[in-house]
Amino acid sequence: MEKSMYMMLIEKTKTYNRITKKVILEHVENIRKLDDAGKLEICGVFKGYPGMAGMYILKTESRKEAEELCRMEPLVTGGYATYKLAALQIANRENNYLL
């Protein structure tokens, strides 16, 4: 079964500017674990978009699994960020760019 892709948009909360080094290290460790497990396609930080921290593109078996991964993100569990999750339909040469 082909994995589905989901985009996790990470939005800053009012407490984001009080984030600790410990939480940042936990966040990076979470990224490593997702990558090692083959669950992370790409991630990054948004520059020039107030209120947005960044995003993950997740590869999962289901939306439920993607939701679980989002809820485990240390920025979210620590209250420094919230998230929105969107299904991502990939357009590429193999599917004629969804034509």
Alpha helices in the chain (DSSP H): 21-36, 63-72, 74-77
* Domains along the sequence of the chain with CATH: 4-98 (3.30.70.1060)
3-state class percentages of the chain: helix first, strand second, coil last, to nearest 5 = 40, 30, 30
Read off the pLDDT of residues 30-81 as tens digits, 9 standing for 90 and up: 999 999 999 999 999 999 999 999 999 999 999 999 999 999 999 999 999 9
Closest residue by Cα to residue 59 from 14, 2, 18, 9: 2
Read off the pLDDT of residues 14-27 as tens digits, 9 standing for 90 and up: 999 999 999 999 99
pTM of the predicted structure, to 2 decimals: 0.90
From residue 35, how far is each of 12, 54, 62 by CA, in Å?
23, 16, 17
DSSP state of 53: E
What is the CB neighbour count within 10 angstroms for residue 71?
Answer: 11
